[in-house]
């Protein structure tokens, strides 16, 4: 049986009378690329914040690699790399310097940090930009550096929240290929939150479709037989053809 690295049980988040995440039961398997798909406000980011232990659930529980995120967020942080929509870097520092800084914050000795940073910059396609200040990086380059930044502590899971917004179509394709490659190369579990149907279908093994805080259905992408319009049909069936791109 597949090993679960994230287990959400009855997970609920209420803000006053409003329920942002409603009684969510979901298990993510080790090594899979799982998509959280849904329109704005569906509860994807709130779910991610609870997985990271950055927001406390109103009810239910979150376990990451067997660790309770709510009671042990620091331990969970060691296992999970989180790439938000907009990554912040020290703009006056180079890509290399930024990565070394993150590495040192994670307790990696300087000599090892340099080597790891150089290798990761190369792997994410920034091998020729290591000495450029990040203030001069394009949005696509920043997201690639963001990936290197989350990978430097050797996480078991990476969580990417709308990582492609603001990147041009070619950059998006490159980014998607890079994530697939990194996941397969390292056996990484990836959680990818997006409202872009086509990106989710291209990248993910399984998808959870979210709407109004609820998990509406689970979709195995292999079962869609790579038919480009199929995920859209499922989406429209559950979400009534809401605008999604
Ligand atoms: N701190 C908060 N206080 C009150 N309501 C909140 C808070 N955070 C989120 N919400 C609400 O919870 C709902 C779910 O938000 P969430 O950000 O999780 O959705 P999402 O699926 O990630 O959407 P998006 O794609 O826009 O990021 C939204 O209606 C949002 O307004």
ipTM: 0.95
Whose CA is closest to atom 8 on ligand 1?
A: 46
Whether 46 lines ligand 1, by a CB cut-off of 6 Å, is yes
| C-beta 194 within 6 A of ligand 1 | no
**Does 40 sit in the ligand 1 pocket, CB within 6 Å?**
yes
pLDDT higher than 50, residue 48? yes
| Alpha-carbon distances, residue 39 vs 42, 144, 196, 214, 227 (angstroms) | 6, 25, 9, 12, 22
Q: How confident is the model at residue 245 (pLDDT cuts 50, 70, 90)?
A: very low
Asked if residue 83 lies in contact with residue 163, where contact means CB atoms within 8 angstroms, the answer is yes
Q: Encode pLDDT of 2-30 as tens digits.
A: 689 999 999 999 999 999 999 999 999 99
Domains and CATH numbers, the chain: 4-87+156-240 (3.40.50.300)
Q: Is the CB of 56 under 6 A from ligand 1?
A: no
Distance CA 98, CA 91 (A): 9
Question: Is 46 within 8 Å of 55 (Cβ atoms)?
Answer: yes
Residue 40 has pLDDT above 80, yes or no: yes
Query: Which residue minimizes the CA distance to atom 24 of ligand 1?
Result: 40
Query: For ligand 1, what atom is nearest to the CA of residue 21?
Result: 14
What share of the chain has pLDDT > 90, as a percent? 73
pLDDT of residue 128: 93
15 Cα–ligand 1 center, Å = 10
- What's the rounded mean pLDDT across residues 176-201? 91
**Closest atom of ligand 1 to CA, residue 43:** 18
Q: What is the pLDDT of residue 190?
A: 97
Residue 20 CA, ligand 1 centroid: distance in Å: 6
């Amino acid at each position: 049986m597949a090993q679960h690295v994230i287990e959400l049980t009855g997970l609920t988040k209420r803000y006053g009378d409003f329920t942002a995440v409603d009684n969510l039961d979901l298990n993510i398997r080790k090594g899979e690329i799982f998509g959280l798909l849904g329109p704005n406000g569906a509860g994807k980011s709130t779910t991610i914040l609870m997985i990271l232990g950055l927001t406390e659930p109103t009810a239910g529980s979150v376990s990451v690699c067997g660790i309770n995120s709510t009671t042990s967020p620091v331990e969970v942080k060691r296992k999970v790399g989180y790439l938000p929509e907009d990554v912040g870097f020290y703009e006056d520092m180079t890509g290399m310097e930024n990565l070394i800084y993150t590495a040192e914050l994670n307790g990696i000795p300087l000599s090892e940090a340099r080597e790891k940073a150089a290798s990761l910059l190369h792997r994410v396609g920034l091998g020729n930009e290591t000495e450029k200040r990040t203030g001069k990086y394009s949005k696509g380059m920043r997201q690639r550096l963001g990936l290197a930044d989350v990978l430097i502590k050797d996480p078991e899971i990476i969580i990417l929240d709308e990582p492609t917004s603001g990147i041009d179509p070619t950059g998006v394709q490159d980014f998607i290929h890079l994530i697939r490659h990194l996941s397969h190369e390292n056996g990484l579990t990836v959680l990818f939150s997006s409202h872009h149907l086509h990106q989710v279908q291209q990248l993910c093994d399984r998808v959870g479709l979210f709407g109004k805080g609820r998990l509406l259905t689970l979709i195995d992408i292999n079962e869609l037989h790579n038919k480009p319009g199929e995920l859209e049909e499922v989406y429209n069936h559950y979400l009534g053809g809401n605008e999604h791109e």
